[in-house]
A and B are shown apart, each in its own frame.
Chain A
Amino acid sequence: MSDVLRMGYVHARVTDLARAKDHYANTLGLYPTLEEDGKLYFKGWDEWDHHSVVLEEGGVGAVKFGFKVWGADALDGIEKRAQQFGDCTVTRMSAGDNREVSDGVRVHLPCIDHTFEFYHSMTEVGLEVGTHNPDAFPRHLVGVGAPMLDHALLMGEDIDTAARFFMEVTDFYTTERAQTDLSDEHQTIAYWLSASQKVHDIALLRGENGKLHHFAFQMRDWNDILHAADLFSMDDVPIDVGPTRHGITRGETIYFFDPAGNRNETFAGGYTSYRDRPTIIWTADQLAKGIFYHARELKESFTSVYT
């Protein structure tokens, strides 16, 4: 089993911190937990750790992604296996390198030019509904009221090596894969990888190195997805796609852009995955149905816009 519990944080760049704060706090309804040194920290109401989204001013796109592991001992194994894997830079990070985050292992994968941090603890600030006889949700949620971070889709040139890293070093498994065809010579277009029973904790799409396609928040159901879309219209948030369903993962979705142009997703549903569940394969000729189950047509902006 993987030592990784979930994607715990995303650090992203934004062009204007004040506008970003309005989007993430007032439209998405995340809880600001800290503002310091030009960085904004947020958590969702159903998260207990100090933050899951960190925004820094200057530029656009992703800075790095954090994965929380179960116990400090897990770091030794990840560090050792990453060093054995090669093709990556492995460094130890100290407690406090990231505000409120424990020591950990930082890995840079040049094959996709993305940075990942593995850590075992973060200052716990608590669920917004508490832990003693909790209510079903906080009474005064703001806007969408996104409960928690769910996953991210990253782009890179050599996603085969990156996927192998996550499978060999951190023991993720592939829930779904998009590939050119079913022949032995096929090329993989995208991987959906899970460390848990979520349908994906991270996805990798062949494309430009270092680019962010989107990061997603976990919603309860289709009703909340529709409600979120209504709020995006009220707040003049550009919607890229949706509300609709993915064939891939069966998830229900809206894609939209933050004020800097980073793509966000509100994601609900999807099936419960298991490590022994057969990997689902999508072929290029049916990729449009896989991505947008109802329109069954690829949308130019979805496949060509990223930060």
Chain B
Amino acid sequence: MPRLTVADSDVEVLLKPGETILGGLHRAGYAARTGCLRGGCGVCKVEVTQGSVTYAETVAETVLTPEERTSGICLICRAVPQEDTVIAPRPEFKLRCVAPFLAALARK
């Protein structure tokens, strides 16, 4: 199972097969800034600094350009890590713990 790590935080989530970055964060009690949750608006872009992601759904090139894909930008609502992956969100990502009990469970 790929391990998702958020840089400069203590957030680590073991992802389930096929789980998106956002799905893993939600399951671990975290929320972040998101938009349409359908890969159509581009609001949830973050940089992947280690690892790699794929997409189970089509993402429009107008939303995530080929250059962005190459440079490691992903949409967390749709991106599925293929290996241990580190994301380095910018401040506007607004990662926050919304369910401490889920976060505690995820850390076990």
Contacts and interface: CB of A to CB of B under 8 A. Distances in A.
Interface of A: 13, 15-16, 19, 58-61, 238, 240, 257-263, 300-301, 304-307
Name the 6 nearest CB pairs between A and B, nearest first: A261-B40, A261-B36, A305-B35, A261-B38, A238-B37, A15-B58
Contact of A307 (B33, B40, B58, B59): B40
Contacts of B24: none
A260 B33 contact: no
Nearest to B62: A59
Nearest to A261: B40
Dominant SS at the B interface? loop
B61 to A, nearest CB: 8
Interface of B: 33-41, 43, 57-63
Contacts of A60: 40-41, 60, 62-63
Contact of A259 (B34, B38, B43, B63): B38
B101 to A, nearest CB: 23
A307 B36 contact: yes
A260 B60 contact: yes
Nearest to B75: A261
A300 B41 CA distance: 13
Given A15-B58, A16-B58, A305 B43 contact: yes
Contacts of A261: 35-41, 63
A227 to B, nearest CB: 22
A301 B42 CA distance: 11
